[in-house]
Amino acid sequence: MVQITTYEITGQHGDNINDRLCISNYGARLVSWHTQVDDEIRNVVLGYSNLEDYFTDESYLGAIVGPYANRIGNSRCKIDGTEVNLAANEGDNILHSGANTFATQFWQCIEHTTNSVTLSCSLTDGFNGFPGDINIEVIYEISAKSELTISIKVNSEQFTIAGPTAHPYFNLNKEQSTTAHNLQIFSDHYTPVDEQCIPTGEIASVNNTRFDFRTTREVSSKSNMEQLDHNFLLSLTDTTTKLTSFPHASIESSDKKLTLHASSNYPAVQVYTGLHLTAPFTTNQGICLEPQFCPDSPNQANFPFHFTSPAQPLKTVICYKLTR
């Protein structure tokens, strides 16, 4: 039986190691990220103390999710003119591509250096209904300036749906039991959803709504337990044809000593405040900033998206940078 293995990468500035990260071969998960803040070390992502607990994790802690992140309504869409039925795992819908996909596969380590690790994974044609053999390669690389770059490349032998993302739960506070963070989202638009969290197809302005985070606001505190599991648009056109990252969102610790900046070449970001986290964690203990295509994009003609094909592999980059 394959065992869970972790790969440590470090970001070093001069003689000092500012960042120490662990990534596992199970789900290509970001297990921990320890960083220097003043004279203390903080772990800024939620993770299990026992690696075997990831086998029963239902929250996608730290995982690469996909091939297609987020939800697809009624678990079906048309691909290259043919209707495809996918394996539902959330009522009639499919979330993060269903059961036993990237988040629960053992990945192969291709290369491991001091500051980077490259992992790969493959799914066979028809897995959970997805057409084509799908191959993914992910590179985690940490810089001396505390910037984690996650480079993702997806190849398929047929037209297929692809749009994976990273799913770490961030908590920047000195004590992870403290849930309050300050959140900013650099978005003018969001995609309203129905009662099953499937987009209605509308692209709505955040003006005069609770989804306007263009100015920093506190979330996940006792005084403001605002719940978010919503998609915000950074661009109304598909930006993944170029590897140019642009700001998506940021979160700041309650003591204002640490800020995490998320950027990507994806056109949207899902912001999730951890409503459904369960023991050993607590509700709202971590915040996910998930750059991606909009949920249900294959079924929504006005959402920025493209299908992955042999002639057009998907190349995306996600950056999480810490500043002090």
Please report, rounded to a whole number, the percentage of residues in the chain having pLDDT higher than 70.
Answer: 98
Contact 141, 116 (CB under 8 A): yes
Poorest-pLDDT segment among 12-21, 52-61, 83-92:
12-21
Which amino acid, 20?
A: R
First to last CA, the chain: 42
pLDDT of residue 224: 65
pLDDT digits (tens, 9 = 90+) for 101-111: 999 999 999 99
Q: Which residues contact 311 (CB under 8 A, 6 or more apart)?
A: none
The number of CA neighbours under 13 Å toward the Cβ of 264 is 32
Contact 156, 132 (CB under 8 A): yes
The alpha carbon of residue 82 and the mean position of all alpha carbons in its chain are separated, in whole angstroms, by 29
pLDDT of residue 238: 98
Tell me the average pLDDT across 217-227.
77
| Residue 294, Ramachandran bin (φ over 0: left; ψ between -120 and 50: alpha; else beta) | beta
33 by DSSP, 3-state: which? strand
Go through the domains of the chain in sequence order and give each one's CATH number.
Answer: 6-323 (2.70.98.10)
pLDDT of residue 223: 65
CA distance 44 to 37: 11
Q: Which residues contact 88 (CB under 8 A, 6 or more apart)?
A: 75, 94, 98
The alpha carbon of residue 210 and the mean position of all alpha carbons in its chain are separated, in whole angstroms, by 23
Predicted TM-score (pTM) of the model is 0.97
**Looking at the annotation, which residues are catalytic?**
167, 290
Question: Which two three-digit tokens encode residue 293?
Answer: 């295509």
Contact 43, 33 (CB under 8 A): yes
130 backbone dihedrals φ, ψ, rounded to 5°: -75, 125
Confidence bin at 95 (pLDDT 50/70/90):
very high
pLDDT of residue 225: 66
pLDDT digits (tens, 9 = 90+) for 28-42: 999 999 999 999 999
pLDDT of residue 2: 83
pLDDT digits (tens, 9 = 90+) for 155-194: 999 999 999 999 999 999 999 999 999 999 999 999 999 9
